[in-house]
Amino acid sequence: MIARPTVLALIGALLATASHAAGPDDRRHMEDLSRQVANIAAVAQLGELPAAEVGNMAKGPYAMTPAMLGVLQGRKAAPILKLGEAVGAGEVDSVKVDFVLAQLRMQMGANYHLQLRQALPSREAPTLFVRGGRMTLKELVAAGAKVDPSALVAQDGKVVAHWPIIVWSDAELVLEPGDNLRLDDANGVFLFNAGLLRADGATVAGLGNGNARQEKFRPFITTALTGGMQVSGTHFSNLGFDGYSAMEGVSLIGGAIFPSKIRSYVVGSVFDNAGTLTFRNARDLVLQGNTFRAMTGPAVELNHVERARIASNLISGTRTSHGISLKGGTSEATIGSNIVIDNAGSGIFAANGTRLLTIEGNLLAANRGGGIGLVRSVCADLEGNTVFRNGQSGVKLRQTSSVTISGNDLVGNDGMAVSVVQQPMSGDLSISSNVFDGNKSGLFGAAVRSVALTGNDFSAQMPILFDGELARFVPALLKSDAGLQGADMTLTGNPLPSQMDVSGISPYGLETCDLGDRS
């Protein structure tokens, strides 16, 4: 949960800001938007929407869309077909933890196993090894008791795991509604899944009892090799071995050459202080209708993921990083109808080869970084987002090509509404039908090649309209027939000849941002 002082400070800052808008209409609009964000902050803290405000949130110039109201009111995502289910009853054995650490070492390509080994009682520590079929948590408790009664202990409606749990590639572990699995920090317990992990209406949490051998250790859940995870309506908390990528919370780390054929998804679930939800070397993901609170950050990270939908999630209060992060050549991701507020970094940040990205209909507010940041990315559509009172730029593009920014409300950001830096020598940038209102400056450019403006409203953006090397176009804007409301202009700057050409970042004809027929 977000700490109460943080939420109260957020609400106070937003309402105070509203009083400084230029005119009566601007103040009223700022107050409307501030009230929306304040209500959302209350939902993030209290877990419910104030009944008296439901109707108000659907009215006014910054009315919440039905999709966003659905996020706040806890509407469940549509059911998804479960694929890859194991057949038959599984078996449980005891396997030494060094076997699992060797698998981690091969999969992750780093010495994460060394830090994990420090958290374990010894190199000879045992694990519960599930193989050869399907097993529920209740069945695992019964089977584990035959291996060692201390491995899993059922008490007070909970199952406490004192040994790590390994689900092998031919097995499936099922957490059913009402299951409550607790992982023992003190014994270095984690859940490693190479098969299928299914959780529906369950709870999985760290015990929070600390680890004397490795003080940074907290339990984690890692799916690797060719495994998959299918999660709905499940609550995760007190997870994440901070600083070690594959163990920072709940992770799916696929094989780069042989990715999992199991369709993975996380829907309608809650992550409280659970590190990061990470996907690497994966494809065809669905993350929908989830709530993320007080994550280490980023709350959600996609690294080298192909085709993903991130929709209708509420993300608030990351401690060290962004709300949503995409990197490592992630492609064909759609991020829509999410509410991303009060995070330590940017609301949404994409970098290092991210391509074919759609960001639409999101609310990005009061993040201490920017609203949306794209670095070394190509082919992105940013449409219909509300980007409000973020600590830096509303939208920042650096070394990023072929971008359309249309129909967004860019309001009250502490930096530029839109910042364009080191624009590549190929690919267009179109900025159309956006509202620029009360930002530190409107449009900033440095080493810009060409920016096409169409139908934007700058009437509430005074006094700084354009900044950087684009400031020279302000007189032309003011003299245009449409003036501050709707002028069509092409702005050019001073590109550097050495600026990279990102059109070669992908083989799929990205000059037109068109995948073509890949069937």
Q: pLDDT at position 18, please?
A: 40
Q: What is the residue-averaged pLDDT of the chain?
A: 84
Report pLDDT digits (tens) over 466-498: 999 999 999 999 998 888 998 899 999 998 876
Report pLDDT digits (tens) over 290-320: 999 999 989 999 999 999 999 999 999 999 9
> What DSSP designation does 485 have?
B
Report pLDDT digits (tens) over 41-87: 555 555 555 555 555 655 665 555 666 556 555 544 433 434 445 55
The Cα–Cα gap between 350 and 356 comes to 11
Q: Which amino acid is at 89?
A: A
pLDDT greater than 60 at residue 457:
yes
- Please state, as a whole number, how many other Cβ atoms lie within 10 Å of the Cβ of residue 340: 31
pLDDT greater than 60 at residue 418:
yes
Q: At what angle do helices 24-46 and 4-18 cross, to 10 degrees?
A: 170
Query: What is the per-residue burial (b if ≥16 Cβ within 10 Å, else e) of 321-332?
Result: bbbbbbbebbbb
Q: Nearest Cα to 403, choosing from 442, 429, 372, 437? A: 429
Q: Which amino acid is at 65?
A: T
Q: pLDDT at position 483, please?
A: 83
Give the pLDDT band of residue 427 (cuts 50, 70, 90): confident
Query: Two tokens at 269?
Result: 């679930």
* The three-state (H, E, C) secondary structure of 376-398, written as one string: CCEEEEEECCEEECCCCCCEEEE
Q: pLDDT at position 5, please?
A: 35
Report pLDDT digits (tens) over 177-224: 999 999 999 999 999 999 999 999 999 999 999 999 999 999 999 998
The Cα–Cα gap between 173 and 165 comes to 10
Average pLDDT rounded to a whole number, residues 6-15: 42
Query: Two tokens at 422?
Result: 């080191």
Stretch among 107-116, 218-227, 270-279, 413-422 having the lowest mean pLDDT: 107-116
Report pLDDT digits (tens) over 86-130: 557 889 999 999 887 877 677 665 566 678 889 999 888 999 999
Q: pLDDT at position 415, please?
A: 96
Q: pLDDT at position 487, please?
A: 86
The Cα–Cα gap between 154 and 417 comes to 54
Q: pLDDT at position 114, please?
A: 77
pLDDT greater than 80 at residue 357:
yes
**Partners of 374 in the beta sheet?**
350, 397
Give the pLDDT band of residue 39 (cuts 50, 70, 90): low
pLDDT greater than 70 at residue 379:
yes
Give the pLDDT band of residue 380 (cuts 50, 70, 90): very high
- The answer to whether 220 touches 240, Cβ cutoff 8 Å, is yes
Average pLDDT rounded to a whole number, residues 405-433: 95
- The answer to whether 286 touches 261, Cβ cutoff 8 Å, is no
Give the pLDDT band of residue 40 (cuts 50, 70, 90): low
The Cα–Cα gap between 114 and 283 comes to 29
Q: pLDDT at position 149, please?
A: 96
pLDDT greater than 70 at residue 241:
yes
> What DSSP designation does 56 have?
G
